[in-house]
Amino acid sequence: MALLLAFSSIPLHLFYNASIFQIATFNEYGIAVIQNGTDKWQDMDKDAAFRNASSKYEKFIGSAWQSVYNVKYVAENEDLYLVVDRFAFNVTQDWVNIDVTKYFNRHRAASNQGLLREILYESSDWIRYEAFYDNQTAKDWPVSAHVDHAFSRKKVGNSRLQLSLVYILVVIACNALKLSIMIWTLIIDRSAYIVTLGDGVASFLQHPDPVTRSHCMLGKEEMLYKLGYMPYHELEGEELDTFNLRVDGVWLPQRRRFFALMGQDRQIFFAVLFCCVLSACIILPFTGRASSGYSMMRAWGTDSEDVLPFGSGLLLNAWLVNLPQIILSFCYLALNAICTSMASAQEWNNVAHTRKGLRVTRPFAEQRSTYFLQLPYRWAVPLIVTSGILHWLLSQSFFLVRLNVVNASNVVVESQTTSGYARLSLLVFFAVALILILVISAACHPSNNQARDLHLKKVKWGVVDETVDNGYAHCSITAGSLKKVKVGQKYR
């Protein structure tokens, strides 16, 4: 069941964020030059003066047109008309009267950024006029022209959302499978699962494990040593003496950092994982194909014009944009594992200080139910809120989009869709889990005269017998009377 739940999450991550995607429609447009005061200019000026839905043209004062057209694609505008009022000639030329109405040149393309960069090379107000020559050998035409304002032909945007039926069916099927498993587990399956620390303690109190008897003081490192494994790092001097005393059952309390609960290998793995994700977040904003003069801080979500420089096809791009969601989920699971280890260690330590009922999945008598989110709320709520925000931000950072470019007749002329198994690791994982189980089991050996329903009562860890096993005292989790452990005393 756990494997089904895990593997059914992969299609969800790969297709959910791409099941509904945007089809962004952009327009081909031309760039033309018109002289101020001509008949054509007057017609445009009168039309733009209405400023309503029926007007065909929009007027841009000064260089305001550049913010609309100096992008890779234009969505709600078509042809651009640059209105010039002054010309600059070469000093060796004869000045002539210019009538640009005869040279109403258009450069129609899906993106005219190259032409814009060429004509705005020297100044944002003066354009290089030779880009508009019909005859490149002309000697009497001006070098540049001053743009006083501009007109743009308006066009209603035609972008829309599209639903991928196949992807939606995959998402529905995976969610239905997950829901069925959860309903079956909650309602039909009545097996006794060991899910929480309390479940493990309750199980060992009901059925004490003879293998771990007389090892009530051993921690993870000491238990590994008893099984024939050397400590994670070489011990010397006082540290070695202290370790030997603990192996012999001497109670020597010590303060430990929360992160010391994880082995050094896990600390390194998590550190490398988070560093890789952080590096990707820093590097990716500076990669990809962006528009010239385009600011990365200007657009949010699907308004961005940046595209990944690789990948083609709907399926491949769907996987590419959703791959970060899987990586983020792995990071969340890693962080959740760290928090679960810390919370479990805190709960395990509290057993020696406060008598409480065990937190189990199916509580009876004085037992307590597990947390709804499996962690204390002060841990779980910030984790879930942060995870939800990060997944949403990631969906805004990587998304599937189809780019359609249409001509003046609304015919699409261009379309583009952009955007292991390690046996050794598995064995190490199960070995660590087994050691932790043995440590819990060693603390669950109450006296023989104790009732068999201890797991249903409020329990606490401490000294239950002071003279057993050749003079060694004995510690266990119990619901009966007990005493505090003494520093330097041997226990089994």
Per-residue pLDDT reduced to its tens digit, 51-102: 776 778 888 888 888 877 777 777 777 888 888 887 776 666 555 555 555 4
Q: Which two tokens stand for residue 28?
A: 């081909």
Least confident of 30-44, 61-75, 89-103, 252-266: 89-103
Residue 43 reports pLDDT greater than 80:
yes
Percent of the chain with pLDDT over 70: 61
Report the pLDDT value the prediction gives residue 468, as an integer from 0 to 100: 56
Range with top average pLDDT, 29-38, 211-220, 349-358, 368-377? 29-38
- Band the pLDDT of 409: cuts 50, 70, 90: low
Cα(408)–Cα(357) distance, integer angstroms = 75
Q: Which two tokens stand for residue 173?
A: 């099927």
Percent of the chain with pLDDT over 90: 0
Q: What is the DSSP letter of 185?
A: I
Q: Which residue has the tokens 């003046």?
A: 408
Between these two residues, 115 and 272, which has the higher pLDDT value?
272
State the number of CA atoms in the 13 A half-sphere of 30 facing the CB: 11
Cα(56)–Cα(67) distance, integer angstroms = 20
- Band the pLDDT of 265: cuts 50, 70, 90: low
- Band the pLDDT of 115: cuts 50, 70, 90: low
Residue 13 reports pLDDT greater than 70:
yes
- Band the pLDDT of 401: cuts 50, 70, 90: low
Report the pLDDT value the prediction gives residue 122, as an integer from 0 to 100: 65
Residue 45 reports pLDDT greater than 80:
yes
Report the pLDDT value the prediction gives residue 294, as an integer from 0 to 100: 43
Kindly state the average pLDDT of the residues 103-111.
Answer: 52
Residue 164 reports pLDDT greater than 70:
yes
Kindly state the average pLDDT of the residues 41-58.
Answer: 81
Range 88-95, long-range pairs (CB < 8 A, 24+ positions): 88/126, 88/142, 88/143, 88/144, 88/145, 88/146, 89/142, 89/143, 90/143, 93/139, 93/140, 94/140
- Band the pLDDT of 2: cuts 50, 70, 90: confident
Q: Count the Cβ atoms, other than its own, within 10 Å of residue 465.
A: 19
Kindly state the average pLDDT of the residues 248-268.
Answer: 68
Strands (DSSP E) contained in 89-133 are 126-128
Closest CA to 359 of 337, 375, 336, 380: 375
Report the pLDDT value the prediction gives residue 330, as an integer from 0 to 100: 76
Residue 232 reports pLDDT greater than 70:
no
344-374 confidence digits (pLDDT tens): 777 777 777 777 777 777 777 777 777 766 6
Closest CA to 314 of 422, 459, 208, 163: 163
Residue 33 reports pLDDT greater than 70:
yes
Q: Which two tokens stand for residue 47?
A: 């039309």
Report the pLDDT value the prediction gives residue 455, as an integer from 0 to 100: 67
- Band the pLDDT of 301: cuts 50, 70, 90: very low
415-460 confidence digits (pLDDT tens): 666 553 333 333 443 454 566 566 667 777 777 666 566 667 777 7
Q: Hey, where are the domains in the chain?
A: 21-160, 192-478
Report the pLDDT value the prediction gives residue 434, as an integer from 0 to 100: 60
Residue 312 reports pLDDT greater than 60:
no
Rg of the Cα trace of the chain?
36
Least confident of 47-51, 171-175, 235-239, 312-316: 312-316
Report the pLDDT value the prediction gives residue 405, as an integer from 0 to 100: 72
261 and 342 Cβ atoms separated by less than 8 Å:
yes
112 and 32 Cβ atoms separated by less than 8 Å:
no
- Rounded mean pLDDT of the chain? 70
Question: Can you spell out the DSSP letters for 396-420?
Answer: HHS--EEEEEE-TT--EEEEEEE--
Identity of the amino acid at 100: V
- Band the pLDDT of 42: cuts 50, 70, 90: confident
Cα(297)–Cα(318) distance, integer angstroms = 25
Closest CA to 463 of 261, 256, 249: 249
Cα(263)–Cα(338) distance, integer angstroms = 11
Report the pLDDT value the prediction gives residue 55, as an integer from 0 to 100: 79
